[in-house]
Amino acid sequence: MTHHLLIDTDPGVDDALAILMAHTHPDARIAALTVTAGNVGLHHTLSNALKLCEVAGIDAPVFPGAPLPLVATPEDAAYVHGRDGFGDTGYTPATREAETEHAALAMLRLSRERDGELTFVMLGPLTNLALALSLDPTLPQRVPRLIIMGGAVTGLGNTRIPVEFNTGFDPEAARIVFERWPEFELVDWEATLRHGLPHEKCDRWFATNHPLARFYNAISTNTRAWAAGLRGNTWHSADALAMAQVLEPGGALEVAERAVSVELGGQFARGMTVVDWAGRNETPANARILMRYDQARFEALVQCAVGAG
Ligand code: RIB
Ligand code: CA
């Protein structure tokens, strides 16, 4: 079965790895990239998406999306990904232009043109999808599979204490998506922490002379060095793990089905994912939370993404 993917993304070093995983996978076709602000501003995330397409030979259309969260004040992650979101390598911008259609409108149009065919993969803040859902609440009926990288299901966040970056960047958008999309798959930050990529393997995979390895090594060197100083000998690539779940769901070893919502208030909790682990609210489960994935299978997909497999 071929996965036809609409990937919503804020590239972003780990977004780039996830997109390369999809591009190099024999059972996947990238139908579109919809781009949002997040890790860095939309100017950079859009440029990065176009550059990655040029380097990898991805001919999917790239649609510009939301430059700002719905309500929140944007707080980027340039400290992780570099000021430009791609390791500040000073690359020559791609020659290809982005589409002029807004990402949210492209999501709706493509869902109608390819009704029942597309998997939506959300690798950044959920602003574009929230806008699309607000324009047309019937969208989920035409998209059989939604995978979201976001949240921290027991409060072990990576920005504010209990908050993960994507839901924290635009909590209102996350609340809209979590409440209006009946069932989705969730790959959270804590699962990412449980599936670290050993730095010594990454160093080897990204050091080959393959064009994708050379490009990825250049954009990821700084963030991997930063991560090593912070978290030791494994590197955590959230979007890559989410894409592994997209491409090979058979690699999931444990999944928990629970009701998950997003907190909008609170000095510390705004943007956190709140999981009804004990089923106390009797709210139907909306999320299939990835708890464990086959690590060897994950690492094989990463290797293939940069031509090292
Ligand atoms: O918390 C990790 C997520 O935030 C990833 O998608 C990363 O790219 C950033 O967007
Ligand atoms: Ca991302």
pLDDT tens-place values along the chain, 309 residues long: 899 999 999 999 999 999 999 999 999 999 999 999 999 999 999 999 999 999 999 999 999 999 999 999 999 989 889 999 999 999 999 999 999 999 999 999 999 999 999 999 999 999 999 999 999 999 999 999 999 999 999 999 999 999 999 999 999 999 999 999 999 999 999 999 999 999 999 999 999 999 999 999 999 999 999 998 888 899 999 999 999 999 999 999 999 999 999 999 999 999 999 999 999 998 999 999 999 999 999 999 999 999 987
CB 164 less than 6 A from any atom of ligand 1: yes
What amino acid is encoded at 150 in this protein?
G
Neighbours of ion ligand 2 (CB under 5 A): 10, 12, 15, 123-124, 239
Distance CA 151, CA 245 (A): 16
Q: Mind listing the pLDDT tens digit for each residue in 13-29?
A: 999 999 999 999 999 99
The pTM score is 0.98
What the chain holds in terms of domains, given with CATH numbers, is 3-305 (3.90.245.10)
CB 124 less than 6 A from any atom of ligand 1: yes
Q: Mind listing the pLDDT tens digit for each residue in 132-151?
A: 999 999 999 999 999 999 99
Q: How far is CA 224 from CA 42, 116, 189, 199, 218, in A?
A: 23, 38, 17, 8, 11
Q: How many Cβ atoms are within 10 Å of 263's Cβ, its own excluded?
A: 18
Judged by its nearest atom, the ligand closest to the C-alpha of residue 40 is 1
What's the gap in Å between 236 CA and the centre of ligand 1? 10
